[in-house]
Amino acid sequence: MNILGLNAYHAEASAALIQDGHLVAAAEEERFVRVKHVAGFPTQAVRFCLKKSGVRPHEIDAVALSSRPSAHLPQRALAAFRLGLGRPEFKGRLRNRLKRSRLPAALAEALEIGPKELKAPLLGVEHHRAHLASSFYVSGMDRAALLSLDGLGDFMSAMWGTGQGSKMSIQGSVSFPHSLGFLYTALTQYLGFLEWGDEYKVMGLAALGKPVFLDTMRRLVYLQRDLQYRLHSKEFAFFHDWVSMQWDQGSPRMGLLFTNALEERLGPRRRPDEPVSGRHADIAASLQAVLEETVFEMLNRLWKKTRLDTLCLAGGVALNCVMNGKIPQHTPFKQVFVQPAAYDAGTALGAAYHVYHQGRRFPRSFVMRHAYWGPEFSEEEIRAALQESGLSFQRFDSQALVEETSKRLAEGKIAGWFQGAMEFGPRALGHRSLLADPRDPNMQRKINERIKRREIFRPFAPSLPREVFSAFFGEAQPDPFMVTAHPATPSGLVKIPAVLHVDGTGRPQAVDRQTNPLYWELLQAFGRRTGVPVLLNTSFNEREPIVCRPEEAIACFLRNEIDVLAIGPFLIDRPASGIQG
């Protein structure tokens, strides 16, 4: 059975395809159209999924969409009554609904068939059920407690329940406008970070401050019975007016989520052109602390309801790696699973699995052990791109490529590493990565200033073989997806300063030899040269989506101060005089 999953007309538009319960392909539209967080219909991602799987349009048995607007009609009606159907902002939402009504035509166009040729049923899966399914059904856990937390989807902001075998049971939910995701986004905007996805900046900034505003933050969010929580409405614009949101083929944009009342509580907001101060870091730390307090209490209550020690998390809030890493210390849950595209892109995956397991009752047989579900390119395709660029390059077999690259990394050079299939989700995990020596304490500043061109406090992550994980991060659960942060061991604090934050934590990727043999070999080779089998790993991009095609990797190499490019079996060194791109 072939099921195509879609996240369409929502941020992080994406597609995924499963065959007889096994994931075959998954990708985000932004990687193809080169617009970060792009909404709209995932035309290119759909075409990629069919190309990689070899499935033809008439062989698709079902199309699963991660949205079901009819699921929460009372909540929608209440919002319409409160905010007013005639307001321009609400009319904008109606326009988005109209776009969704045209989905069959858009799907037929993506499949390059006529609208009447599409025989597969189009099945809507409620947004948060798709989130939960995206985590539980690929976790390998037979039974687990489930929690989804994000900003807004189908007028819900949270949902929880349990999963067992092929069935999920939903036990409760929180309706918009009460939203932990929007709470974090509102404070992100207050701190002067206005672009979609800037919450990661605030999470990094939080480590530089102290939670001195925690009492104030606690007045903004409070728990009620069960797992229900509420926000204090006065400080948030989405309680009083429909916040302008645009979901088109560009990057998603929204108006300010906070009101003047928030500034009355916390003082004047930071403007984007103002420097980041210690006060701003303290506000970020206080926001992070109240998020953790709230979620940990929710999880403790969820454990009391379920008495399960396994947990599957999903939703955009589940990408808060600092929070994730603390769950075993603050709750009874012993095992936590977060799939690599936990944010809205992952709902394409979840919708497909929800239809396959919950809808069709097929048994489970797939476990997601890696994130490499995107496009990959042949040696011939890479060679052609290099020849077109005019760069001089050498070809090596895999062992020689590993040795040559590790040598340059040990010399302090920054390497672009473009290998195999692209990752699904926001993290580069050793296939579309920039790599560097983690022993150099100046490397973080160097890469942020010279290549990423972003705030110098932004941290980088370590990749290391699973076999040595405990030597650097103790008894923490090894994470292949880089979605949990952990304190480094005393030895790790000394040996890998460039990949640890100021609080001594890192967001490590445990690399398995079976799922990523070439990257594992590179880590081992670097370890033989330096005594430290760890590399600084960050995404291969510069203020753009992570590179997808060889041409994009080459272009990024040409316009930045990357010292060496290892792309497929080819190695390119930057001449001493530089490259004119």
Tens-place pLDDT, residues 283-341 = 999 999 999 999 999 999 999 999 999 999 999 999 999 999 999 999 999 999 999 99
Res. 84: pLDDT tops 70: no
Range name among 89-103, 147-161, 222-236 with the lowest pLDDT average? 89-103
Kind plus residue range of the DSSP H or E element containing 383: helix 379-389
* DSSP secondary structure letter of residue 250: S
Q: In whole angstroms, give the CA distance from residue 92 to residue 94.
A: 5
Length of the chain: 581
Q: In whole angstroms, give the CA distance from residue 500 to residue 491.
A: 12
Whole-number pLDDT of residue 157: 96
> What are 557's two structure tokens?
């190499």
Q: In whole angstroms, give the CA distance from residue 519 to residue 510.
A: 11
| Burial bucket for residue 313 (CB in 10 Å: 0-12, 13-18, 19+) | buried
SS3 assignment for 210-223? CCCCHHHHHCCEEE
Whole-number pLDDT of residue 115: 84
Tens-place pLDDT, residues 143-160 = 999 999 999 999 999 999
Q: In whole angstroms, give the CA distance from residue 557 to residue 11.
A: 28
Exposure class string for 382-409: b at 16+ Cβ within 10 A, else e = bbebbeebebebeeeeeeebbbbbbebb
Tens-place pLDDT, residues 494-512 = 999 999 999 999 999 999 9
> Sign of the CA dihedral 305, 310, 316, 319?
positive
Which domains, from first to last, does the chain contain? Answer: 2-129 (3.30.420), 141-339 (3.30.420.40), 379-573 (3.90.870.20)
Res. 245: pLDDT tops 80: no
Confidence of residue 73 (pLDDT cuts 50, 70, 90): low
Phi and psi dihedrals of 212, rounded to 5? -75, -15
Phi and psi dihedrals of 312, rounded to 5? -115, 125
Tens-place pLDDT, residues 432-455 = 999 999 999 999 989 988 888 788
Res. 140: pLDDT tops 70: yes
Phi and psi dihedrals of 248, rounded to 5? -125, -155
Average pLDDT over residues 249-256: 75
Exposure class string for 510-547: b at 16+ Cβ within 10 A, else e = bbbeebbebbbbbbbbbbeebebbbbbbbbbbbeebbb
Q: In whole angstroms, give the CA distance from residue 410 to residue 437.
A: 6
Res. 581: pLDDT tops 60: no
Quick check: 492 and 506 in contact, CB under 8 A? yes
Kind plus residue range of the DSSP H or E element containing 123: strand 122-124
Quick check: 284 and 191 in contact, CB under 8 A? yes
Average pLDDT over residues 338-363: 97
Whole-number pLDDT of residue 304: 98
Whole-number pLDDT of residue 116: 86
Confidence of residue 250 (pLDDT cuts 50, 70, 90): low
Nearest residue to 205 (alpha-carbon basis) of 276, 100, 311, 130:
276
Average pLDDT over residues 394-421: 98
| Amino acid in the structure at residue 545 | P
Res. 127: pLDDT tops 60: yes
